[in-house]
């Protein structure tokens, strides 16, 4: 089985964001990066399928060269190889453009499944996987919680999440695109052996410009302004040590809010 | 391209989804701002009732597309049906709720039409002639004003809970039959089974008081403090998604876009950061108390009262205090 899993590097979840002077981006100096949460789960699903059905997992990244660090972590977890399309000027910074780049790379690759995160922690558009499926003419399922593959029949079943606690099992023939929801399993830690082995695994680097893609031919989204939401909070933040603060809270809940 | 704002309506068993009512409200705002007409767009099978309901929703037109193949959501059928209708009359903007269904559908439409899609929109801004769409980014901490540099139609999905449903007045609504031909569509995804994953039903919407716990509890062993508090308050226990994903509490206790929506008199959010997917399920609670170690947690933006602190310290203190007050 051949599985490609897309991996994007994003600022660490505990980042205290700062906006640049131009007001259209975040300050990147001194930032720590990590694999976008949904992409971690996507990689975990790919590795589980590889273990069950025997196969190869390739990590595919469109991003800055620093992404190599996160890719190496993915290789340490058990992926076999990686392809990094280096986009250091962030030219492919919206979903259509990224999907176009991915489709171009995948044209010369063989695969049964393409896994992507449902959304990324930075821009959070949640579109790339489905756009990619349409560009490649492949079936897709989103917000996938569970995957079952029938290698003999070349079909895949996916459990997708719907509103209000409802779920749907769907079936598609492979190759297919699945976007993976976060939190659906336990993401494995790289073992020491995995880390050592990862050093020998190939990260093929391709420069975005060498693909000669017309990124202007797809819809463009641009950030006009990035900012902290105005705090519309009228929350009474109670201050003091634990016992003083709870005493005040209980008093207010009784007398002011009248909910006790 | 016409001077129309289309709103794709999510509906189930003849009922219009709240997210669609919110999208209609947003569409109404936009149509007034841009002086365009508002058009509700319904796909389904035997859904005349939905169209009739929409007639009282202050829309200029309802396009009703009925076909047996549209009885249940399928991305291939829905995408083709929408494209056929829009080929005859392409709107300026197509709106819809940012629901799990539309997360599955909208990007396919956008790719098919090679048109821009902005997801999870919370509002808009006007900068002279430019429309900017407001949405969240970067771990839900920042707002971005996004502008679209490509041709219409633009597709926008609306973040559930972000727009208030306004009181609309009846206008003369025209219901128009939209005809589509889906015979050539190859459906590449089969629906096998649809089910509700809740074994035990707990109707949290009836609870007057709820103590909800989030990732801040850190481990299942700590849940005892939440149970004690809930017992003292006579409250139901609820959870945000990460707690359910870790299987510390069952899915039947989940509050948010993938779980239940509640509006109790008292909602205690313990160690819940306030991600938008959770907020949408409890923001209409009468009195919200947030306890979180992070002073920047978004939950404080909607709380009535807030305590910045470690729930493992504050919650037992609170239970203790409530016992004292009850006895006196």
- Predicted confidence at residue B167, as pLDDT, reads 72
Q: Do B258 and A161 touch (CB under 8 A)?
A: yes
The CA distance from B41 to B23, in Å, is 12
- Predicted confidence at residue B238, as pLDDT, reads 97
Task: Place A232 in a pLDDT band, splitting at 50, 70 and 90.
Answer: low
User: What average pLDDT does range B140-147 have in this prediction?
Assistant: 93
**CB proximity B168 to A under 8 Å:** no
Q: Do B305 and A221 touch (CB under 8 A)?
A: no
DSSP B201: -
Task: Place B319 in a pLDDT band, splitting at 50, 70 and 90.
Answer: very high
User: What average pLDDT does range A194-206 have in this prediction?
Assistant: 97
The more confident residue out of B119 and B128 is: B119
- Predicted confidence at residue A56, as pLDDT, reads 98
* Tokens found for residue B148: 């679209």
User: What average pLDDT does range B51-60 have in this prediction?
Assistant: 89
The answer, yes or no, to whether residue B108 has pLDDT greater than 80, is yes
- Using an 8 Å CB-CB cutoff, list chain A residues near B242: 183
User: What average pLDDT does range B10-32 have in this prediction?
Assistant: 95
What is the ipTM score, two decimals?
0.94
* Tokens found for residue A107: 């044209």
- Quickly list DSSP for B38-95: EEEEEEESS-HHHHHHHTTS--SEEEEEE-GGGSS--HHHHHHHHHHHHHHS--SEEE
pLDDT digits (tens, 9 = 90+) for B224-282: 999 999 999 999 999 999 999 999 999 889 999 888 899 999 999 999 999 888 998 99
Q: Do A228 and B287 touch (CB under 8 A)?
A: no
- Predicted confidence at residue A233, as pLDDT, reads 66
Q: Do B146 and A221 touch (CB under 8 A)?
A: yes
- Using an 8 Å CB-CB cutoff, list chain A residues near B112: 134
Parallel/antiparallel/unpaired status of strands A140-150 and A155-161: antiparallel
Maximum Cα–Cα distance across chain B: 75
SS3 B315: helix
Q: Which of residues 298-327 of B touch A (CB under 8 A)?
A: 300-309, 313-314, 317-318, 320-322, 325
Asked if B70 and B42 touch (Cβ cutoff 8 Å), the reply is: no
User: What average pLDDT does range A255-260 have in this prediction?
Assistant: 90
* Tokens found for residue A60: 């595919």
- Quickly list DSSP for B204-254: GGG-SEEEEE-GGG-SGGGHHHHHHHHHHHT-EEEE-HHHHHTTSS-GGGB
Cα angle: B239, vertex B245, B250; to 5 degrees: 55
Counting Cα atoms < 13 Å in the Cβ hemisphere of A183 gives 15
* Tokens found for residue A179: 């976007």
User: What average pLDDT does range A179-203 have in this prediction?
Assistant: 95
Task: Place B83 in a pLDDT band, splitting at 50, 70 and 90.
Answer: very high
| Element of type H or E holding A227 | strand A221-227
**CB proximity B136 to A under 8 Å:** yes
The CA distance from A145 to B59, in Å, is 37
Distances (CA, A) of B218 to B215, B261, B294, B310: 6, 24, 14, 11
- Average confidence score pLDDT of chain B: 94
SS3 A198: helix
Q: Delimit the domains of chain A by residue range.
A: 2-217, 234-260
Q: Do B75 and A218 touch (CB under 8 A)?
A: no
Closest chain A residue to B141 measured between Cα atoms?
A228
- Using an 8 Å CB-CB cutoff, list chain A residues near B192: 157, 168-171
Q: How far is B171 from chain A (nearest CA, A)?
A: 31
pLDDT digits (tens, 9 = 90+) for A154-177: 999 999 999 878 899 999 999 999
Q: Do A99 and B111 touch (CB under 8 A)?
A: yes
Q: What domains, with CATH codes, occur in chain B?
A: 4-178 (3.40.50.620), 204-327 (3.40.50.1220)
Q: Do A134 and B136 touch (CB under 8 A)?
A: no
User: What average pLDDT does range B140-167 have in this prediction?
Assistant: 92
What is the percent of chain B where pLDDT is above 70? 99
The CA distance from A60 to B21, in Å, is 39
Integer Rg of chain A from CA: 22
Give me the CATH code for the A2-217 domain, please: 3.40.50.620
pLDDT digits (tens, 9 = 90+) for A82-93: 999 999 999 888
Asked if B267 and B284 touch (Cβ cutoff 8 Å), the reply is: no
pLDDT digits (tens, 9 = 90+) for B168-212: 776 789 999 999 999 999 999 999 999 987 656 788 988 999 999
SS3 B257: coil
């Amino acid at each position: 089985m051949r599985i490609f899993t897309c991996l994007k590097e994003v600022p660490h979840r505990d980042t205290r964001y700062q906006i640049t002077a131009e007001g259209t981006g975040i300050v990147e100096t001194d930032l720590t990066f990590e694999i976008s949460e949904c992409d971690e789960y996507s990689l975990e699903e790919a590795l589980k399928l590889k273990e069950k059905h025997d196969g190869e997992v390739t990590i595919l990244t469109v991003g800055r060269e620093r992404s190599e660090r996160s890719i190496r972590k993915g290789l340490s977890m058990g992926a076999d190889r990686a392809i990094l399309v280096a986009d250091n000027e962030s030219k492919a910074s919206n979903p259509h453009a990224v999907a176009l780049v991915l489709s171009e790379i995948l044209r010369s690759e063989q695969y049964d499944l393409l896994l992507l995160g449902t959304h990324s922690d930075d821009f959070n558009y949640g579109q790339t996987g489905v756009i990619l499926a349409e560009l490649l003419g492949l079936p897709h399922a989103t917000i996938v919680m569970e995957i079952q593959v029938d290698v003999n029949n070349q079909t895949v079943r996916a459990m997708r999440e719907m509103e209000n606690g409802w779920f749907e099992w769907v079936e598609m023939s492979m190759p297919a695109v699945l976007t993976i929801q976060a939190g659906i399993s336990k993401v494995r830690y790289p073992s020491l052996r995995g880390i050592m082995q990862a050093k020998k695994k190939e990260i093929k680097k391709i420069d975005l410009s060498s693909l000669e893609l017309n990124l202007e031919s797809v819809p463009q989204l641009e950030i006009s302004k990035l900012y902290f939401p105005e705090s519309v909070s009228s929350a009474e933040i109670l201050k003091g040590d634990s016992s003083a603060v709870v005493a005040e809270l209980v008093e207010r809940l009784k007398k002011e809010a009248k909910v006790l | 391209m016409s001077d129309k704002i289309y709103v794709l309506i999510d509906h189930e068993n003849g009922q219009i989804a709240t997210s669609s009512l919110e999208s209609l409200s947003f569409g109404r705002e936009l149509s007034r701002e841009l002086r365009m007409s508002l058009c509700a767009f319904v796909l389904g099978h035997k859904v005349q009732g939905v169209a009739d309901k929409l007639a009282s929703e202050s829309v200029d037109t309802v396009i009703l597309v009925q076909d047996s193949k549209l009885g249940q959501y399928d991305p291939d059928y829905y995408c083709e049906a929408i494209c056929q209708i829009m080929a005859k009359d392409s709107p300026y903007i197509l709106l819809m709720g940012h629901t799990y269904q539309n997360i599955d559908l909208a990007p396919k439409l956008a790719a098919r039409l090679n048109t821009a899609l902005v997801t999870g929109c919370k509002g808009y801004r006007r900068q002279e002639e430019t429309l900017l769409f407001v949405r969240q980014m970067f771990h839900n901490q920042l707002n971005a004003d996004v502008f679209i540099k490509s041709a219409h139609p633009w597709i926008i999905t609306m973040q559930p809970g972000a727009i208030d449903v306004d009181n609309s007045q009846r206008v003369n609504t025209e219901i128009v039959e939209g005809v589509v031909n889906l015979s050539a569509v190859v459906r590449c995804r089969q629906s096998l089974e649809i089910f509700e994953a809740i074994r035990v039903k707990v109707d949290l919407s009836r609870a007057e008081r709820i103590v909800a716990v989030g990732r801040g509890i850190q481990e299942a062993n700590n849940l005892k403090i939440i149970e004690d508090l809930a017992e003292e308050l006579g409250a139901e226990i609820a959870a945000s998604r990460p707690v359910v994903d870790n299987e510390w509490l069952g899915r039947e206790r989940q509050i948010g876009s993938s779980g239940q929506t509640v509006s109790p008199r008292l909602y205690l959010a313990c160690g819940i950061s306030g991600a938008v997917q959770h907020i949408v399920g409890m923001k209409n609670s009468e009195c919200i108390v947030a306890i979180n170690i992070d002073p920047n947690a978004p939950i404080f933006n909607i709380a009535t009262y807030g305590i910045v602190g470690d729930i493992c310290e504050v919650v037992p203190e609170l239970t203790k205090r409530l016992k004292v007050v009850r006895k006196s």
